[in-house]
Amino acid sequence: MPPRTFHRTSASDLSTPPGTYIYTLAPLSATHLAASTSSSSSLVTFSKSTLTPVATIPHAHTNITSLSAYPASPQTLLTSGTDGLIKLWDLRCSPPAAQASKINVGAPALCASANAQGGIIAGTEMQDRVSRVCVWDGRMVGEKPTWVFAESHGDDVSFVGFAGGEEGERWGVSGGMDGLVSVFDLLAEKEARGKGDDDERALWQVVNVGASVHRAGFLNAGGGGGGAAGKGEWVFGVSTDESLVLRSFNHAPGREEEEDAAGEVAGDVGDVRKRLDCEYVVDVLRVGGTGTGGIVVAGNKEFGKQRVDLIPLGWAGGRWGFTSEDKVRLQGGHGEEVCRGVWVDDDVGLLSSPLSSPGLRRRRRGKGTDGW
């Protein structure tokens, strides 16, 4: 069955200089998005429907490394940078006054993310043989971190995040250049403080993906709560060699060996390049709400195959697999450029950002295709 195809309707370089890299897209409001760019490490806000730039914040960091929404506060963005700073930006204010607060983590911050409760998690570059994952409670942002994990990764921390919804207050995840995905229980017993370091108290599960971690997180396999493979939440990691690994999420202490054994084969998807006929993985998007599974975003820049595909990933037949017949294709992709991010919007369609100019591209479904 041929993929459902989207075609480009418009494109924009967000009024940035030629050759500018567009790194990340993040939601800002019902009508606007934000992008991080290599042009003076700027943040640019723009209209979803027209791609018209609205405001630019230059020099957001010495070098900006991540951008995401801060869902606990309207029109607020979270960024990190190699200057060692985590910053919150309130875009309800004009750009000169938009910086709401900042946190100095003491080392180049390579990634940051926030949960719905206002908590922040950040990962650092390795310095003096130590890389750290720092977590701030939403009520204490800007103060001393609630948790500092300094033993869970033996190299740079390349990705951090939280579980979705209410579970985000409890479960944090990090991925490192050491190939490890670590899961932390952020509501570990408070009375345990002082008895061992933070890693010992809160580290819940470790998954080895075999190479540097590009993306990590949680996906719901459906079928009820945690426990046996194929039910509840699974931890996933995507490596820089395009290998996808999932492991049953150990909600129940003491069942790790049982659940790992049950999930090892079912969750070893492996190198996806041949299976998906792609060159690289852009992201893995969790299906929102009560949905299950995820969407693997994969790209191709080879001449004659230039495209970005979105392929459903779900639990079926006792293992994780792809539903290729439901594939969505962004025809043409970004040509010879690598796509760095995709934003899915029910009203506007699909927005994608490349590694460099010509900038953002908006898509619509092709004539005769079904909805998605």
Question: What are the Cα distances from residue 360, in Å, to 50, 342, 370?
Answer: 11, 10, 24
Residue 276's H or E segment, with its range, is helix 272-276
For residues 240 and 86, give the distance between their C-alpha atoms in angstroms, rounded to a whole number: 25
Q: Is the pLDDT of residue 372 over 50?
A: no
- Decide which of 369 and 365 is more confident: 365
Q: What is the mean pLDDT of residues 234-248?
A: 96
- Decide which of 222 and 371 is more confident: 222
What pairing do the DSSP bridges indicate for beta strands 339-345 and 22-27?
unpaired
pLDDT confidence band for 249 (50 / 70 / 90): confident
For residues 142 and 311, give the distance between their C-alpha atoms in angstroms, rounded to a whole number: 39
pLDDT of residue 226: 45
**Which of 30-34, 99-103, 175-179, 318-322 tops mean pLDDT?**
175-179
> How many Cβ atoms sit within 10 Å of the Cβ of residue 177?
20
Q: What is the mean pLDDT of residues 68-92?
A: 95
- Show me where the domains of the chain are located: 21-286
pLDDT of residue 363: 66
Q: What is the mean pLDDT of residues 222-250?
A: 79
Question: What are the Cα distances from residue 74, in Å, to 92, 113, 128, 211, 345?
Answer: 8, 16, 38, 37, 18
pLDDT confidence band for 197 (50 / 70 / 90): confident
pTM: 0.90
Q: What is the mean pLDDT of residues 243-261?
A: 67
> How many Cβ atoms sit within 10 Å of the Cβ of residue 225?
10
**Which of 95-104, 129-138, 346-355 tops mean pLDDT?**
129-138
According to CATH, the superfamily of the domain at 21-286 is: YVTN repeat-like/Quinoprotein amine dehydrogenase (2.130.10.10)
Q: Is the pLDDT of residue 370 over 50?
A: no
pLDDT of residue 350: 63
Q: Is the pLDDT of residue 155 over 90?
A: yes
